[in-house]
A and B are shown apart, each in its own frame.
Chain A
Amino acid sequence: MASPVIRSEDERTEPLLEPLTGAKKRIRIAPGRAVIFAVLAVVSVIIMYPFYFMAVTSMRSEAQYQLGRGFSLSSWTQLFASVPVAREMMNSLLVCTVAIAIILTLSTTAGFALAKAHFRGHGLVLLGLVGGMMIPVQSIIIPEYVNFVGLHLINSYLGAILVYVAVGTPFATFLMTTYFRGVPEELVDAGRCDGLGYAGVFRRIALPIAKPALATVIVLQFIPIWNDLLVGLLFLQEPTVRTFTVGLGVLASSRVVSIPGLMAGSLLSTIPAAAVYVIFQRFLVSGLTLGASR
């Protein structure tokens, strides 16, 4: 009985509004909508223009670029010849994957503890971690660098990974705590009635239903780590351990590669982050607006 009533009410509100606005717009605001379309189209073209520029320029040799016409793949071959693209891509992927895996592990465990498995002083721990969110990487990078020189962690993947983890974990933990708080207490109780301890509840109940939050953490961490220059520049200096973004930054500042070659590299570095972005877009929004809606 209840569901048909609700459905019919939905149907009533929807069509009731549509013809009304539609009619008004058709009569009065139709030119307005054309203007909106035009404005959005112009803005989109301006925003997309640099990508068009990158793509077209990368398809030209240095000479063709100067001329402003022509087509060749020589800049791409030049890029692959002067930069160990595959190696740097693997380095980027490795650093990103391991750092995010560690961040996920630390933030889900701590988030569950702070939301559900309360202990004496949990409020204080949460406050401390939230305070850690405010610390920018630039404020710790100098002592961290000197410490890691002493620990022989410079030019080692682990060094850079630990910096990313340290900076990324507080926000990820905050996000997971917020998510686990939304999990009904009844689910935890049900798990306990089935004889699970809190560790079991975490592993069997909380973790499986936290997939959307995990996706949010992944996308919010992947893009900044993939795109990072500062940490990589200092902690991964050797060409063999360098990430692709660092390689590109060094290449750009050394100015040994032609502009078309740089554009090819730029385009290449954009693809993974853009792909993650498009795939996880939904989760990005939920993570970003967490602070706004609370």
Chain B
Amino acid sequence: MSSASAVIVAETVAEVRSRRLSLDRDRSRTGVMLVIPAVATVTAFLFIPIGEAIYYSMTNWNGITSQWIGPSAYLAMFKNPLFWRVLENNAILLLAVPVTLVCGVTLAALLNERVRGWRIFRAAIIIPTAVSWVVLGIVGIQAFAQNGMLNSMLGSVGLKFLEHNWLGSPLSALIAVAITFVYSLVGVNTLIFVTGMATIDPSVYEAAKLDGASWWQGFTRITIPLLRRYFMFTFVITAISAFSALFSLIFTMTSGGPNYGTTTIEFFIYDQAFATGAFGTGALLGVVLLVILASVSLLQLRLMNRGE
């Protein structure tokens, strides 16, 4: 009896061990099989092209033939005043990022008060997020044109002297693009901050209120510090959008003009490659854009880890 059961036990132990070994093998083999399609696709259509972009950025590529220039292509670009003009446009657009964040957190705090009809207000604030920037560009022209919505609004409130063909001069056109950008992204920012505020324990506010804190003190001393992560996150996604998501808006609203006044680096890539045929220059600008975006992302990781 006992020896027979010992044999069975020994057998099952061996069986279990061999099964575990085969399961481990099954695990790593299945893992590799499952990951290959994604890795192959991303390699072929994302990593190889970015490698090509880096190579061609140092050539005078026109899409068909190319001659090697070397890293000096970058130096030449850094000496080009148009390049700095474009980066300056990007820098001005970046000023819209804190505006978006402040609007977003303010609206979220107001929504968080749950006044009557807050769900309807939330829906209204969020809706522009779903709208294509092609559409926003088309509507934006109507808003900022000489006989557009903004001018008629200014006229009706007695500020007729501020009337202006907003898309007609470089700086005001850039401001018009920035306003449209804020309009489009306030919704996402608000949504994220509303989610963040829902994670804050209401009893914290109650305790503060019992200590005589005002709503404003609660907002500045409790809400904002506790939303630190959310601020960094919204800052990064909004800044990345400012650099890399405005193509359709600029294309429909201003086509980069007047006089490169609204050309950002992403639009400059398109302009160089597909309007003037300087594919090498376009590739180089693409690499510069990637470096900028990677720096923003790495900065975020750095800051987030330091906060722990």
Residues of A within 8 A of B (CB): 13, 17, 20-21, 24, 29, 32-33, 36-37, 39-41, 43-44, 47-51, 53-54, 57, 102, 105-107, 109-110, 112-114, 117-120, 122, 125, 128-129, 132, 134-147, 149, 162-163, 165-167, 169-170, 173, 192, 197-199, 202, 223, 226-230, 233-234, 245, 248-249, 252-253, 259, 262-263, 266, 269-270, 273-274, 276-278, 281, 284-285, 288-289, 291-294
Contacts and interface: CB of A to CB of B under 8 A. Distances in A.
Given A119-B27, A142-B273, A198-B30, A166 B46 contact: yes
Interface in B148-164: 149
A122 B251 contact: no
A33 B134 contact: no
A293 B115 CA distance: 27
B45 A139 contact: no
B180 to A, nearest CB: 10
A43 B125 contact: yes
Given A17-B203, A114-B35, A198-B26, A140 B115 contact: no
Contact of A109 (B35, B274, B283): B35
19 contacts: A17-B203, A40-B121, A50-B139, A51-B127, A106-B41, A109-B38, A113-B31, A136-B286, A139-B269, A142-B279, A142-B282, A143-B48, A162-B41, A199-B34, A230-B248, A245-B134, A249-B252, A252-B252, A292-B195
Contacts of B120: 44
B135 A197 contact: no
A146 B28 CA distance: 37
A142 B63 CA distance: 8
Nearest to A259: B142
Contacts of B274: 234
Given A117-B27, A230-B247, A288-B192, A170 B34 contact: no
B35 A24 contact: no
A55 to B, nearest CB: 11
A289 B191 CA distance: 9
Interface in B28-50: 28-35, 37-39, 41-42, 44-50
B30 A199 contact: yes
Contacts of A226: 132
Contacts, number: 300
A139 B139 contact: no
Main SS of the interface on chain B?
A: helix
Contacts of B229: 292-294
A20 B42 contact: no
B209 interface: yes
B52 to A, nearest CB: 4
A101 B224 CA distance: 40
Contact of B34 (A147, A202, A233): A202
Contact of A50 (B42, B115, B117, B143): B143
